[in-house]
Structure 1
Amino acid sequence: MHTITAPELLFLLKGAQWTIALSVIGLVLGAMAGLVIALARTSHIPALRRATGGYIAVFQGTPLLMQLFVTYYGLALVGLKLDAWVSVAIGFTLHASAFLGEIWRGSIEAVPKGQTEAANALGINYVTRMRKVVLPQAIRISLPATIGFFVQLIKGTSLAAIVGFAELARNGSVVSNQTFQPLVVYGIVGALYFAMCWPLSLYGSRLEHKLATAAR
């Protein structure tokens, strides 16, 4: 047993850096795919609604850990061998797209129907109506839930350690094995997760309160 020194702390901070990077990539790419899913879920084409509904059901109904196993080990079985970084990025993107797609589907449907009816009466086409009328309001409605999901995504990155991705939780395990001080090490790891998640949670709560007050 020895004390935790600067190199160990820097190793943990590097893991936190990769945790943030993976979370942001999953959120950004998942948001792009999620928007497409939300638009498909609210379209007037039954086949699109059924297909995206099935996609959401699969990713919301299965554990994230299993999804990471499939993107890492499953793809390798069919000859597509990916680095741990690429495979977990794909896994988190698919996972985030399903949840964000459903969050934004609900937000789009929460926009008063009168807005869409007025746009139709003015002869505004679908693309312009969504871009300038519906989506700006839907994004505002969805912000608290989106921020809340981002917090869950940050904490969920700890599961990436199972396929060898060196994020905060895995680096914490390495340092713990080296120093034989698990309580101290995981206390630091927990503090780093708290420092990443608590400001976002606080901001999401305040934003939700602000939007609820404005809606009264």
Structure 2
Amino acid sequence: MGVIGQNEMLFLLQGLKWTLLLSAIGFIGGGLFGLAIALARTSERSVFRKIAASYISVFQGTPLLMQLFVVYYGIALLGVSIEAWMAVAIAFTLHASAFLGEIWRGGIQAIPKGQTEAANALGLHYFSRMKDVVLPQAFKVSLPATIGFLVQLIKGTSLAAIVGFIELARAGQIVSNQTYRPLLIFGIVGAIYFIICWPLSLYGARLENRMAKAVR
């Protein structure tokens, strides 16, 4: 069995860096596109609602692993050379936008209609109505679910290894193959995931309990 030294731990930390970076890109990019999807899903125009609903159905109804394959190899078939990290970032952004869009759609529709009617009575146009009245409340309502999805997104980055992207789980596999200590290495990898995800899950659960008490 090989020795697990400084170089091996630094390699794992390098993989952790890419896991966090990929999660941030997917969550931020998915948030921006997800907001557009949520607004389209709650639009008064049926064509926007149908397009957004179809988009969500595609990405929620297919495995993330398949989405990674389609983006990575699909872009290559178009004759465009793309690095693995870019393809993975695009796939995770599209994936996250569908889920966040649906989460925030629920938040928007959870806001009492009286809020919108009051904004209309004050003469606020659509942009001001959404920015100042509806969206702040909708984001607050949907925050626990948003945090829950972020946790799933962080863990889902482990699938990026399928197209050659070296994140934390793939880095652990490489170190395990070099040291022949899979139980120890993946125990360390699992502990790192737990340290990242457990506080987020705990925070989301506390927010959910706090909101439930406020409703009562």
* Category of TM-score, reference length = shorter chain: over 0.9
Give the distance between the partners of 2:151 and 2:109, measured in 1 at CA.
24
Counterpart of 2:61 in structure 1 is: 61
CA distance in 2, matches of 1:55, 1:47: 12
Q: Whole-Å Cα distance in 2 between the matches of residues 184 and 3 of structure 1?
A: 11
Residue in structure 2 matched with residue 166 of structure 1 by the alignment: 166
Unmatched 5+ residue regions in structure 1? none
The letter of the residue matching 1:205 is: A
The amino acid of 2:37's aligned partner reads I
Distance 2:215 2:29 in 1: 31
Q: CA offset at residue 6 of structure 1?
A: 1.2
Structure 1 residue 164, shift from structure 2 partner:
0.6
- Specify the alignment match of 1:70 in structure 2: 70
Q: TM-score, normalised by structure 1?
A: 0.99
Say how many residue pairs are matched. 216
Name the residue aligned to 1:6. Answer: 6
Question: Is residue 191 of structure 2 the alignment partner of residue 191 of structure 1?
Answer: yes
Runs of 4+ in 1 over 6 A off after TM superposition: none
Match of 1:211 in 2: 211
Residue 22 in structure 1 maps to residue 22 in structure 2: yes
Question: What is the CA–CA distance in structure 2 between the aligned matches of 1:90 and 1:129, rounded to whole Å?
Answer: 31
- CA root-mean-square deviation: 0.7
Residue number in structure 2 paired with 1:200: 200
Question: TM-score w.r.t. structure 2 length?
Answer: 0.99
Distance of 2:104 and 2:141 partners within structure 1: 9
| 1:51 matched residue in structure 2 | 51
How far apart in 2 are the matches of 1:19 and 1:137? 31
Q: Partner residue of 1:31?
A: 31
Cα distance in 1, alignment partners of residues 167 and 177 from structure 2: 16
Fraction of identical pairs, as percent: 67
Structure 2 stretches lacking a partner, 5+ long: none
> Which residue matches 2:107?
107
How far apart are 1:3 and its partner, in Å? 2.2
